[in-house]
Structure 1
Amino acid sequence: MPNSLQSEPVAAVLDRLYAQAEKIDPEVLEPAMAEARRRKGPLDDRELAGMLRRAFMPVSRDVGHLLYMMVRTSRCRRVIEFGTSFGISTIFLAAALKDSGGGTLVTTELEPDKVRRAREHFAEAGLSDIVEVREGDARETLRDVEPDVDFVLLDGWKGLYLPVLQLLEPKLRTGSLIIADDIDLMPEVLTPYLQYVHRERSPYFAVKVPMGDGLDVAMWTR
């Protein structure tokens, strides 16, 4: 059974991107956290977005491996990702599709420089034929995705998890998996999303997974 994560060029691209993230993210995130502490509260969305333009904020390798296994074992063919960043999580997802025989991955990112660089990374990893990167607000770029979505990764702006999920609901198939990343980072922002998928008589069957900065794994049951 092939595993692109353990061979070139995917392995080399991931190693390089994780090394860059390890160097750059502290330089970017520490000033943002210091400013939030100084103000004794969170920064507004626009200001925070500006400060994080260079940040990778990638999924951990363990989470990436879990995403890869989920896509492969579920035999996914159509994957949606909200929040490309520089493309690390996308590479795990696209590699899983490739190793399973193919499929399509639509990922969306608001920051133009991240879009440009992510596309370069996908080309280097030999995954461009699987990944379509859409630049802009996910509430617009994901409106016309094809139906029968098998898998969704929510890893962008936390306050948009719920509207993006609701936008995609008509396109989900029964048994689709929805993974929400970083649920422990900004719990107050993600409360509406978590209440929605975990509520009584929800069309989702959901469980929290203590990996990385917290995952919520939900299955669409309708």
Structure 2
Amino acid sequence: MSSRAPASAPTQINPNPILAPPHIHALLDRLHAKSEAQEREITSADYAQDKGDFDALMRDKFIALDRDKCWFVYSTILSMGAKNVVEAGTSYGVSTIYLALAVSQVLEMQNKSKSGSDSRSATGKVIATENEPSKAAQAREYWNEAGDQVASLIELREGDLRETLKRDLPTVDLLLLDIWSPLALPTLQVVQPSLRPGSVVITDNITGSAARYADLIRYLNDEKNGFRNINVPYNKGLSVSVYVGKE
């Protein structure tokens, strides 16, 4: 008996895990294209500017989390059943759409699996953070374009996240750090008391910006702070830190 696969058999797994209506896929394609076009125009000289000039340059830029990294974070949320997610650094809200889609599916799966004796619906949300008012306003427009499946799960906190995340946090399952590097460690320290054992912290550009993340890296590597870390080899690195609890 021949073991040769049929000619029509697929040769690889479809790498896109996103389950969403066509209009959301089209929206994400459009937003990623805008972000990628902007990033191609940023030069090394731009990054060498002083902070004030660089901030002004970046004020209208997407700088969205890379598409393949968004897929990874989305899959991580599904695999761990994360219901409450915090995003530090929302910008125009592209990655937030992926977070909300994943949380939506987690809630759907958990509600389907409930026994008849438990009538309570599972609840969750994505807490997004943005300091730039124009970006926050535009992000809301994109989420509304995506529809209620996305928009209804997002709580946007505007202002300095070191202050806005100090209050009313649920038990946090996943924290995404995709933010200006000096704010990464202060943000983690604000959110950490709300992390549950087994929660995950994902940090973008952990190798590409290692020097700027030095304080965060030292903190994550110090075992007394309760994290176990691994780097995923995406472009410029993506770290996954599992919180096991402080000693």
Could you tell me the TM-score, scaled by structure 2's length? 0.81
- Is 1:125 the equivalent of 2:163? no
What residue number does 1:197 align with? 220
What residue number does 2:37 align with? 23
Deviations 1:150-175 (A, max 9, x none): 00000011111101000111111111
Are the counterparts in 2 of residues 77 and 103 from structure 1 also a CA contact under 8 Å?
Answer: yes
State how 1:103-118 maps to structure 2 within 5 Å.
Answer: 103-118=124-139
Quick one: structure 1 residues 43 and 186, their matched pair in 2 at CA, closer, same or farther if it must change by over 3 Å?
A: farther
Pairwise CA distance, 1:64? 0.7
Aligned partners of 1:158 and 1:193: how far apart in 2?
9
Structure 1 or 2, whichever has the larger Rg, is 2
* Aligned-partner SS, 2:170: coil
Quick one: structure 1 residues 191 and 164, their matched pair in 2 at CA, closer, same or farther if it must change by over 3 Å?
A: same
What residue number does 1:180 align with? 203
Give the aligned residue type for 2:26. A
Pairwise CA distance, 1:99? 1.6
Pairwise CA distance, 1:34? 2.0
Match of 2:230 among 201, 207, 211: 207
Structure 2 unaligned segments of length 5 or more: list them: 1-16, 108-122
What residue number does 1:39 align with? none
Are the counterparts in 1 of residues 129 and 159 from structure 2 also a CA contact under 8 Å?
Answer: yes
What residue number does 1:88 align with? 94
Are the counterparts in 2 of residues 78 and 149 from structure 1 also a CA contact under 8 Å?
Answer: yes
Pairwise CA distance, 1:184? 2.5
What residue number does 1:9 align with? 23
Quick one: structure 1 residues 208 and 145, their matched pair in 2 at CA, closer, same or farther if it must change by over 3 Å?
A: farther
* Aligned-partner SS, 1:219: strand
What residue number does 1:146 align with? 169
Aligned partners of 1:195 and 1:144: how far apart in 2?
26
Give the aligned residue type for 2:196. R
Are the counterparts in 1 of residues 209 and 236 from structure 2 also a CA contact under 8 Å?
Answer: no
Pairwise CA distance, 1:183? 1.4
- Is 1:43 the equivalent of 2:66? no
Quick one: structure 1 residues 35 and 21, their matched pair in 2 at CA, closer, same or farther if it must change by over 3 Å?
A: closer
Give the aligned residue type for 2:21. S
Aligned partners of 1:184 and 1:74: how far apart in 2?
25
Pairwise CA distance, 1:6? 4.6
Pairwise CA distance, 1:148? 1.0
Aligned partners of 2:77 and 2:205: how far apart in 1?
19
- Is 1:34 the equivalent of 2:45? yes
Are the counterparts in 2 of residues 107 and 131 from structure 1 also a CA contact under 8 Å?
Answer: yes
Are the counterparts in 1 of residues 46 and 54 from structure 2 also a CA contact under 8 Å?
Answer: no
Deviations 1:61-81 (A, max 9, x none): 111111100011111111000
What residue number does 2:190 align with? 167
* Aligned-partner SS, 1:211: coil
Aligned partners of 1:160 and 1:214: how far apart in 2?
18
Quick one: structure 1 residues 200 and 75, their matched pair in 2 at CA, closer, same or farther if it must change by over 3 Å?
A: closer
Over 6 Å off, 4+ runs: none
Are the counterparts in 1 of residues 20 and 101 from structure 2 also a CA contact under 8 Å?
Answer: no
Quick one: structure 1 residues 205 and 35, their matched pair in 2 at CA, closer, same or farther if it must change by over 3 Å?
A: closer
* Aligned-partner SS, 1:132: strand
Aligned partners of 2:153 and 2:235: how far apart in 1?
26
Structure 1 unaligned segments of length 5 or more: list them: 37-41
